[in-house]
Amino acid sequence: MTEAKKTAKLELDGETYELPVYSPTAGPDVIDIRKLFAQAKVFTYDPGFTSTASCDSTITFIDGVKGELLHRGYPIDQLAEKSHYLEVCYLLLYGELPSAAELEKFEQTITRHTMLHEQMQNFFRGFRRDAHPMAIMVGVVGAMSAFYHDSTDPNDRKQREIASHRLIAKMPTIAAWAYKYSIGQPFVYPRNDLDYASNFLRMCFAVPAEDYEVNPILSRAMDRIFTLHADHEQNASTSTVRLASSSGANPFACIAAGIACLWGPAHGGANQACLEMLEEIGTPDRIPEYIARAKDKEDPFRLMGFGHRVYKNFDPRATVMKQSADEVLELLGVENNPKLQVAKALEAEALADPYFAEKKLFPNVDFYSGIILEAMGFPTSMFTPIFALSRTVGWISQWEEQLDDPQLKIGRPRQLYQGETSRDYVEIENR
């Protein structure tokens, strides 16, 4: 923790309290209120954490006004263009870009951990065929703690590292098998001669009856989707992982908690919700009706894939994703796909509408990722699992960082209680 160079003053009931103010290496100053309750006997109120920093971190930084996303200081657009997912995983986990030898060793380690304990297949087979793959992922990842006992102790550094590698390595196998199970096809085992993204595509789309060749352009696009989703600061699912871990829970349980949180349509579920919305709109002539609904305060409908809590000018991931979408759709010859036509027209009409400009709402990464994934052949139900597998490294890096933090305490928010004060129990016959 840096030293406070200035203080903020809080005046309350005739008393003045001095609160330390820290200056981060980037981003706004942070007022330290940890001793506020002890000194002034008051809590602060910030549901949704819109003004609250929940931890110190050195991993990822977002400047929402500039539209900047940095991993360990490196801009996401440079990483998406010049690096690849496993190198970004190394960077997030260990803090620096690897040397060639370090990268080779890391890639080998991840590749060698991609198989699942054979008995885990019984878990998959226990689900209904129509189970959402996210439901399967929450269950199977949580169940990893019942299979990999030698890497569940968060107080043992070596065990932590093994758990990190296992999670990054096995998540594509888990996601692909959740998909295979849902369509009634045999599970496809990972292959060590393929890179991370190609291996995932093969496990999703190959069948034992035929050879399967991975298209390098699709594999590159897949890798880029993984890279663009690798980490994103203290978002809802990452904060969930940190909160779960603050009690000392094992890594697999913490990541399962993160997957559960990511599932919601306001977070990782937005790419599925966005594609479903494009399908529902159907044709560009219906767009004004949906824009009017999004603007109507009485209607809960929102334009899915639009808006972001932190980015208020543009989402730098969306810029790269849009470019990738153009490449992939051209390669696959589906530029005239009706959903894509609706997406393009919707983007143009919403961006030209003063409501969206005033509220700083513009397409986020999920607006384009769903379009690419659909063109690649993934059903909408697989969009969020792909996000979860990409984000696993971010969750794990933040989890590791938290466990090394000497200030770690169990996360335990306070509340503004608005309920009844103490009253006596009333017997049922007297109510």
- The side-by-side arrangement of strands in the sheet containing 60-63 is 60-63, 68-71, 74-75
Quick check: 160 and 255 in contact, CB under 8 A?
no
- Binding ligand ACO by CB under 6 A: which of 117, 220, 286, 309? 309
Sole binder of ligand ACO in the list 76, 167, 188, 304 (CB under 6 A)? 304
Site string for ligand ACO, 315-354 (x = CB under 6 A): ----------------------------------------
Torsion angles phi and psi, residue 18, rounded to 5: -100, 130
Measured CA to CA in angstroms, residue 114 lies from 59, 111, 190, 196, 393 at distances of 25, 6, 6, 9, 15
Nearest approach in angstroms of CB 397 to ligand ACO is: 17
Which residue of 305, 316, 370, 385 would you call a contact of ligand ACO, by CB under 6 A?
Answer: 305
Is 366 assigned a catalytic role? Answer: yes
- Does residue 359 bind ligand ACO (CB under 6 A)? yes
* Structural tokens at position 26: 């980037």
CA 175 to chain centre: 15
| 361 touching ligand ACO, by CB under 6 A | yes
- Out of 133, 190, 258, 307, which residue is the one contacting ligand ACO (CB under 6 A)? 307
Q: Is 117 a catalytic residue?
A: no
Using rule CB under 6 A, residue 62 touches ligand ACO: no
CB of residue 68 to ligand ACO, shortest distance in Å: 16
Give me the 249-278 binding string for ligand ACO, x by CB under 6 A, dash otherwise: -----------------xxx-x--------
Angle, CA 389 vertex, CA 138 and CA 139 arms, to 5°: 10
Nearer to ligand ACO (CB atom), residue 219 or residue 238: 238
Does 364 engage in binding with ligand ACO (CB under 6 A)? yes
Output the six-digit token pair for 44: 């602060």
Question: 182 and 381 in contact (C-beta within 8 Å)?
Answer: yes
Q: Whole-angstrom Cα distance, residue 102 to residue 89? A: 12
362 binds ligand ACO (CB under 6 A): no
Q: Of the two residues 154 and 363, which places its CB atom closer to ligand ACO in the complex? A: 363
Q: Which two tokens stand for residue 341?
A: 């036509």
Q: Interface with ligand ACO includes 299 (CB under 6 A)?
A: no
| Span from 6-14, 174-182, 251-259, 359-367 in contact with ligand ACO (CB under 6 A) | 359-367
Residue 129: exposure state from Cβ atoms within 10 A (0-12, 13-18, ≥19): exposed
Between 113 and 308, name the residue whose CB sits nearer to ligand ACO. Answer: 308
Q: 85-94 and 216-228 are packed helices; what angle lies between their axes, rounded to 10 degrees?
A: 20
Residue with tokens 């996210």: 134
Q: Which helix (H) or strand (E) holds 236?
A: helix 236-245
The residue number with the shortest CB distance to ligand ACO is 307
Residue type for position 427: E
Binding residues for ligand ACO, per CB under 6 A? 266-268, 270, 294, 302-309, 359, 361, 364-366
- Residues catalogued as catalytic: 308, 366
